Structure 1
Amino acid sequence: MSGKAVTLFCGICALFVFIQAHGQIKGDHGKSAESRGSYVNVTGTEYYIETTSRVHRDEAKVECEARNMSLISFQTLKKFEDTVNWLFDYGYDTYWFWTGALKEVNSSVWIWEPTGEEFTYFQWGWDQPTVNNDSIRTCIDFKVFSGWDDDDCEQYSLGYICE
């Protein structure tokens, strides 16, 4: 085997071992912002942004609550656009983030879990939503300029934004 092939093989093995230990990770590779786990102010609202400690959605919720915050909710298109633009401007455009959106098992109703508010406004990404299994809790995550994505709340380890 050539040196490049061995390096590629070892990298794939390491990724496999990591995924086995931590669950799937959505593609968050590329440029990185200088600070992670940072408190920031976006249009007058304080947020906590975490990208290095990727966790399942319920773990993200607990982390936010430990900061007396909740997972981010987008009740308006303007709030979503302001947040996405800020994330892009500061180099967070390669990361997937959990939100406070949730659809419980055997339900067709989406709620912003932090408030319990039902919503029917969606900013779905291309070919979304995709989860058609009512026997799992479904949560919404997003990536800058990719729109919202519905996923099993326990399938991926992602970053998160608290507010």
Structure 2
Amino acid sequence: MLRIFIVACTLPLWGRAFDDPCNLEEYYSVAGFSKVTWFEANFICNSVGSVLATVRNYDQHQYMLNKVFLHGKVFGKKNFWLGATNLVESTYFWTWLSTGLPMTYAEWGKDEPSSDKTKKDACLVLKGDKFWHSASCEEKHFFICENVCLLNDTSLDQSVFI
């Protein structure tokens, strides 16, 4: 718990103050300063008025990749939690935590999601190969938050498939 407190307290040093998350211009904020579990990442994002990143279409995926890998020397091949999980339904159906909606777009890596084959609980990770992978929610990775005020921004949602 102390670790979460320390990480949450350092968020204002992230580049912008989080006094009013709706004044942020950033759609995604990349947290490459501390590895945490998926649950801890969710808590930290929520504590600053954000959610773990939701990616609903190809354009958003590319936008997020540009945001993360633009700083390749810093982030390199690190792994980042995203906001989907199969914990919502006992059928292991992937759902976005931010919206409660099923995942209708995906950029799965080869042989993924492996958790569907093993019938294990899992959370979504963007790996250094730029594809999505299922992983135990207890693993520790960096994470990407999404500005909740921009969550319904139509400029990035033009290609939503339902």
TM-score range relative to shorter protein = 0.5 to 0.7
Amino acid across the alignment from 1:81: Q
Unaligned runs of 5+ in 2: 1-12, 17-24, 147-162
Aligned to 2:130: 146
Please say if 1:96 is aligned against 2:79.
yes
Q: 1:56–1:157: 8 Å Cα contact kept in structure 2?
A: yes
Q: Identity of paired residues, percent?
A: 26
The separation in 2 between residues aligned to 1:37 and 1:157, in whole angstroms, is: 19
1:30 is matched with which residue? none
CA distance in 1 between partners of 2:37 and 2:141 (Å): 6
User: Any gaps of 5 or more consecutive residues in structure 1?
Assistant: 1-35
- Over 3 Å counting, the alpha-carbon distance change for 1:108 and 1:120 in structure 2 is farther
TM-score scaled by length of structure 2: 0.67
Paired residues, number: 123
- Structure (1/2) with the larger helix percentage: 2
Structure-1 separation of matches of 2:26 and 2:61: 13
Match of 1:58 in 2: 39
What does residue 99 of structure 2 align with? 115
State the one-letter code of the partner of 1:108. Answer: Y
**2:118 corresponds to which of 105, 128, 133:** 133
TM-score normalized by structure 1?
A: 0.67
Report the residue type matching 2:84 in the other structure: A
1:1-163 equivalences in 2 (<5 Å) = 37-38=14-15, 45-91=26-72, 92-104=75-87, 106-131=90-115, 132-134=117-119, 136-154=120-138, 156-163=139-146
Higher strand fraction (1 or 2): 1
